Structure 1
């Protein structure tokens, strides 16, 4: 498979530094576009996934040349950063901070969905020592860069991972980065850096298959019993080096498929980093010779972590299921496609939104997630720019009749 049209593999960045005194506190202020994961001495910082939230990162010079001519008259350009307390992750001697960057909505590479450019990273690690002195490790040309095993990660095309290209220990002390290149300083987005203003997405539930069926074509269909946004994780699966399996997601129209290539060194585990899929079941193609079992894979549901101020229950066999489905649409699924959500995403007061939904174009980044679920009716509110939301058809009909 050729990946030229999808851009280069996801980059890995690392920086080695020494600590010679006792650390009192350490906070990492970081962002990566479109998505990032931060590591300290081999451990991932925080449980967040697919951060930061989508915002109007900056001006898009080609926006007016697209299939649909749109003026770039958006307001409040911003890029969100996150803060992680990493005090317990540091130690005396050599330390290593690393990151992996995904394209996300910053670089969708769709002809009708103009992006902003290649991936970017900005970080500052503030260290305070017990003697009162301070040190700041910043992202600059002293960092090292290399290609990761993530050959493709595009929100509209899926993710491909080649485990043969892994570099064990790449973000740990003692790793030989002699073959890595020096990082290059690139122009920052136009948007102003601001602190993350809403809860992040996290893996909130893991589902085991309710049914596994071998199809006539030799593929397996795995049914997880309910519709979610998330991904499938492979657990302790073995196959020869170079063996490739493809995972296709039902109910998934716009996010592509998931491909994994084995390194062939015993049981392997894998889950995507920078892509989600909407599904209740998956078809696994070219499975290895061993029989697919329930323990061999699991679905992970990705959800916003704001929580519920209240939940309404009724005795109606029509209203209650419709309400439950609306809750799934609003909280338990992931962002709508960028065509509609570039300048604003559906939001609610629980996320402490500065202004009502019609003013969301000035305050992107606070969201209730949305997804393409069967039986859902999409519509858009327009006030200068698009904001998209969804309601179940049943719920919509009740509103119209009521």
Structure 2
């Protein structure tokens, strides 16, 4: 283990250890916060074979380091989801920039209009009374010059109905949007600047008026812009901030509709060809004021769209157009679906819709194929489940 990629400044070297386990090897090394470490492994067999890995790295988060940032919030009486914003102006040439962040219920990060990272549903599902995980982003490129750091918050599991004892009128764990973030700018001269959330951050309201894991998302682009608000300090959640444990949830496969079905009930329904979990991208070009209503389901009944098996979950996306041509992608919900019913786009085409399958970045460690198509389908179903 070294502090540099050339492996010249060693921090730990086990030497050859004939009793080492091939499953794991304990490295006795005190890890510092916000530090990158490089490592290699050399392995040998009793047949005299040797293999040396390429240089790898890992980077620590804040670990036990205290946060200088403060938890901030905004009014929950206004249902339009907030962007928390801060103008960032580096004072010198930036060598490295890191963002450490947690937003409740869910959050997405932007610098100006650019989405940071490729993860969905951060900070994931937590035991909010015990621990709440934060994520780290490399934003060196984004802050090589000035820009506005923008964090969009949604309801998620924290601030919406959740579980068998779900509340329709209040959040399961809390009722307030909450955000904490620290931007660390490391300059080429060795100095460092830390910009954290506090009362100087501003709030701008998005066009999203509703989001829920079960029920979907509502967006109305005809809503007027609202005056900026000032962020306010708030209590931290009960759970302790902790380094991330959840693997990144990212888009993997994309699906195009296999068929556009005109059902006996007169509905327009896409058949995606298989069941999967994720969101979608829908191309919309309709007159101002048009309501586009997307609903998802798993099966057809008598050839018609059906999702009553989802019980009270609405599993929908509602969009009111301002007349602008746009590609819609939900932010703070997800769907398990094969069939998609769409109202409000009379000239709907298969190329207008793309299914985005997302799930945790797990590494497959084995594959199996049998002589039975049914067993092979069962194996596939397990994987997709």
Question: What's the offset of the Cα at 1:139?
Answer: 0.7
Mapped contact 1:6–1:152 kept (Cα < 8 A): no
Please point out which of 264, 272, 294 is paired with 1:247. 294
Question: What's the offset of the Cα at 1:250?
Answer: 0.9
Question: What's the offset of the Cα at 1:46?
Answer: 0.4
Question: What's the offset of the Cα at 1:117?
Answer: 2.5
Task: Indicate the SS of the match to 1:15.
Answer: strand
Aligned to 2:137: 84
Structure 1, unaligned runs of 5 or more: 59-76, 168-176, 330-402
Alignment of 1:221-370 (within 5 A): 221-235=269-283, 237-251=284-298, 253=310, 254=313, 256-265=315-324, 267-287=325-345, 289=346, 291-329=347-385
Mapped contact 1:219–1:286 kept (Cα < 8 A): no
**CA offsets, 1:46-80, max 9 Å, x none?**
0001111211111xxxxxxxxxxxxxxxxxx1101
The ranges of structure 1 where at least 4 consecutive aligned residues each deviate by more than 3 angstroms after the TM superposition are 215-219
Mapped contact 2:128–2:173 kept (Cα < 8 A): no
Partner Cα distance (1:17, 1:48) in 2: 23
Partner Cα distance (1:135, 1:31) in 2: 20
**CA offsets, 1:232-273, max 9 Å, x none?**
3112x21111100111111351353111111103x2111100
Partner Cα distance (2:263, 2:331) in 1: 29
Please point out which of 175, 180, 192 is paired with 2:240. 192
Aligned to 2:68: none
TM-score (norm 2): 0.72
Task: Indicate the SS of the match to 1:90.
Answer: coil
Aligned to 2:101: 30
Q: Which has the higher helix share?
A: 1
Aligned to 1:49: 120
| Structure number with larger C-alpha Rg | 2
Question: What's the offset of the Cα at 1:157?
Answer: 1.9
CA gap of 1:35–1:166, structure 2 versus 1, over 3 A, is: farther
Question: What's the offset of the Cα at 1:8?
Answer: 1.3
RMSD: 2.1
Question: What's the offset of the Cα at 1:323?
Answer: 1.7
Partner Cα distance (2:360, 2:240) in 1: 24
Partner Cα distance (2:117, 2:349) in 1: 31
TM-score (norm 1): 0.69
Partner Cα distance (2:222, 2:265) in 1: 28
Partner Cα distance (1:228, 1:107) in 2: 26
Structure 2, unaligned runs of 5 or more: 1-75, 167-171, 299-306
**CA offsets, 1:117-143, max 9 Å, x none?**
222111000001011111011011100
Partner Cα distance (2:273, 2:77) in 1: 33
Please point out which of 192, 196, 200 is paired with 1:134. 192
Question: What's the offset of the Cα at 1:182?
Answer: 0.2
